[in-house]
Amino acid sequence: MTLASISEKVSAGIPLSFDDGVALFREPDLLKLGALANQVREQRHGDRTTFNRNLHINPSNLCVAGCPLCSFSRRSPEQPGAYTLSLSQAWDKLKARFAAGDPVTEVHVVGGLNDSLPFDYYVELLAGLKRLQPALHIKAFSAVEIFHLHKLFHLEVREVLRRLVAAGLGSLPGGGAEIFAPRVRQRICPNKCNAEEWLDVHRTAHELGLRSNCTMLYGTIETIEERVQHLLRLRALQDETGGFQTFIPLAFHPDNNALSQLPAPTAVDDLRVCAVSRLLLHNIPHIKAYWVSLGIKTAQTAQWFGADDLDGTVQEEKIYHLAGSEAPQSLTPAEIVHLIRAAGRTPVERDTLYNVVAQGQALPAGPSPVRGQP
Ligand code: V47
């Protein structure tokens, strides 16, 4: 398998094989790999890079899973830093955005696998956010959390999702997929739902008409082959349902967790994973370079290695900042617009479902100084 022969397949629209994926991860010429991913990106999205205005709410960090990879969770309420937000504390976070004249179109809600909150907490959390802002899109609860609610409350996954949709759930985020291989899961997240269960939650969500995102956490102990298998399983589900809208490669952060002996992935790893994902996942429309995970500079560069999205303004992110992310806590829309233009791309503000919200003159005027940048 050479890059030239893979390039021919890409041009002919032939899905790449497992062996192609392995060859791409082993390709020494990062720039040629990036150029091929960029060709596919530009065919699909031209020079646009999208972003949105969003707020993260993490209702509780109490978690029964105790994953070695995680720096956010606490096992018991007595542990330092453990918290559970009351409903009004959670709603206040959205209210604060209005009060600051900084409204969001999306709230991203994820948290620990808390086994002491009633099901109504989740329903009321979403319903209360919707009451505050009926047009808000709530992207909430990773498949791992949905699976936990299914087990805890003895409700079918479909029923959990139906009740949350009735309360205001708009889509599912892509977290918790990690690496599907049982060998890796056993070491990095032994108590999380398995690959089949994760995929089945997304399949059910798609059957109910919800869109969702998907992820891969790279840079722990996985092999290249396990990465490729993971990506191909996402691609197979997408062939079945068409419900994934974005793939987000997530770079492992080793601070303050039980895997802190591992080195963090380098920028070259980040760009390679981004490019290979774009090439293998021909049927998933968007590749998100999540700037909180990659850092601003790599996320900008990734716009030339297959990515066409940067995520959003992201206020109140905890999972990556506790694990060592040095990215700013948030960016203003004007800062993101500036970063995208500085990367040589055309910024477009989108909503969660990738409808255009603002472009051209309607975007905030830049350039403006970017925190954390020289
Ligand atoms: O599920 C946890 C990962 C995910 C670490 O869908 C870690 O739009 C690196 O899924 N190092 C949460 N990664 C983040 C996530 C996400 C983020 C932004 C947008 C979307 C979306 C989804 O972060 C977790 C886990 O896979 N994670 N700990 C860590 N130490």
Nearest CA to ligand 1 atom 14: 175
Domain membership of residue 372 (yes or no) is no
Q: Burial letters for 244-272: b for 16+ Cβ neighbours within 10 Å, e otherwise?
A: bbbbbbbbbbbeebebeeeeebeeebbbb
Measure 261 CA to ligand 1 centroid, in angstroms: 19
**Looking at ligand 1, which atom is closest to the CA of residue 254?**
30
Nearest CA to ligand 1 atom 15: 175
Average pLDDT over residues 222-241: 98
Distance (Å, whole) CA 179 – CA 177: 6
Distance (Å, whole) CA 269 – CA 273: 6
**Looking at ligand 1, which atom is closest to the CA of residue 177?**
26
Distance (Å, whole) CA 194 – CA 223: 18
What pLDDT score does 372 carry?
Answer: 54
Domain membership of residue 211 (yes or no) is yes
Nearest CA to ligand 1 atom 9: 252
Average pLDDT over residues 195-210: 98
Nearest CA to ligand 1 atom 12: 175
Q: Both tokens of residue 324?
A: 């060592």
pLDDT in tens, 329-374: 999 999 999 999 999 999 999 999 999 999 999 999 865 555 555 4
Distance (Å, whole) CA 289 – CA 271: 9
**Looking at ligand 1, which atom is closest to the CA of residue 176?**
1
What pLDDT score does 1 carry?
Answer: 81
Domain count, the chain: 1
The answer to whether residue 269 scores a pLDDT higher than 90 is yes
Domain membership of residue 44 (yes or no) is yes
| Domain extent for 220 | 3-362
Strand ordering across the sheet containing 356-359: 309-312, 48-52, 346-350, 356-359
Distance (Å, whole) CA 24 – CA 2: 9
Domain membership of residue 255 (yes or no) is yes
CATH number of the domain that 47 lies in? 3.20.20.70
Would you say 106 and 139 are in contact if contact means Cβ atoms under 8 Å apart? yes
Question: If you average pLDDT over every residue of the chain, what do you get?
Answer: 96
Average pLDDT over residues 290-304: 98
Would you say 222 and 251 are in contact if contact means Cβ atoms under 8 Å apart? no
Nearest CA to ligand 1 atom 2: 70
Domain membership of residue 46 (yes or no) is yes
Nearest CA to ligand 1 atom 5: 70
The answer to whether residue 254 scores a pLDDT higher than 90 is yes
pLDDT in tens, 109-118: 999 999 999 9
Domain membership of residue 367 (yes or no) is no
SS3 content of the chain, % helix, strand, coil (to 5): 45, 15, 40
Domain membership of residue 228 (yes or no) is yes
Read off the pTM: 0.96
Q: What percentage of the chain exceeds 90 in pLDDT?
A: 95
Adjacent-strand bridge partners of 74:
62
Average pLDDT over residues 253-276: 97
SS3 category, 280: helix
SS3 category, 50: strand
Q: Both tokens of residue 361?
A: 């003159």
Q: Both tokens of residue 350?
A: 């989108």
The answer to whether residue 319 scores a pLDDT higher than 70 is yes
Domain membership of residue 38 (yes or no) is yes
Distance (Å, whole) CA 46 – CA 60: 40
pLDDT in tens, 140-161: 999 999 999 999 999 999 999 9
Measure 373 CA to ligand 1 centroid, in angstroms: 24
Can you list the positions of beta strands (E) in 147-228?
169-172, 211-218
CA distances from residue 71 to 64, 142, 218, 315 in whole angstroms, order as listed: 14, 17, 16, 18
Distance (Å, whole) CA 171 – CA 246: 12
What pLDDT score does 325 carry?
Answer: 94
Q: Is 175 in the pocket of ligand 1 (CB under 6 A)?
A: yes
**Looking at ligand 1, which atom is closest to the CA of residue 70?**
28
What pLDDT score does 336 carry?
Answer: 97
